[in-house]
Amino acid sequence: MTAFVYESERYVPEKVQIFGVSVEAAEEGRKLRERVTRDCQEDRPYIQLDPYPLRLLIDPEAKLIRAVGAENEGHWAGLIAAPITYVMDRAGKARWAYVSASAADRPSPLGLARAAVAVARGEAPPADYPGKT
Amino acid sequence: MAKIKIGDDFPTAKLQDIDGSTVEFPAAFAEAPATVVFFYRGRW
């Protein structure tokens, strides 16, 4: 989540919207947003956070998480979402994806932003960072 | 295993955000030229 906020200067001018989905309760999501906001205000105070560059969504029964195949049933905390990232176009088609191999495996913040900006401009995602499916 | 491949449609879903507003897919995608959707495990 932090990477999206820190790279928001790439997303906001292109009007890219960002949603994060987890099973977490709203209160935990608000705490996460507050921590990320405070970090950003301290580290990069020049970044505008109003309106906030992303929205966190709650999927308490993991219906959407299961529908996309992101469920992790074996976690010690119970069912959680495995990290998967999609860039969708205006028509609702997946144009780029990064299916993480583990919790530590995340897409390059810059590579992801470049893919999203390309899709927003009606272009193909950059071939030099095709994601991982 | 991820079920959505490049070129696929996103599943239909209706979720609330952490502030109580409702977001419906796929209608929400029409509101921006591109949308990033990331699934995350939470604070663990």
pLDDT one-digit tens code per residue, A20-48: 999 999 999 999 999 999 999 999 999 98
Q: Which amino acid is at A67?
A: A
At residue B40 the predicted structure's pLDDT band, cuts being 50, 70 and 90, is very high
- Sequence-ordered list of residues with C-beta below 8 angstroms from that of B39, at least 6 positions apart, any chain: A20, A21, A22, A65, A68, A70, A81, A82, A83, A84, A85
Residue in chain B nearest A101 by alpha carbon: B1
A51 min Cα distance to partner chain B (Å):
14
Q: pLDDT at residue B44 above 70?
A: no
Q: Which amino acid is at A24?
A: E
At residue A79 the predicted structure's pLDDT band, cuts being 50, 70 and 90, is confident
What does the pLDDT look like over A1-17, one tens digit per residue?
A: 888 888 888 998 899 99
As a whole number of Å, the end-to-end CA separation of chain A is 20
Residue with tokens 């609702």: A92
Q: pLDDT at residue B43 above 80?
A: no
Whole-angstrom distance, CA of residue B12 vs CA of residue A77: 27
Contacts of A101 in chain B (CB under 8 A): none
Class of domain A2-120: alpha beta
Reported ipTM exceeds the 0.85 cut = yes
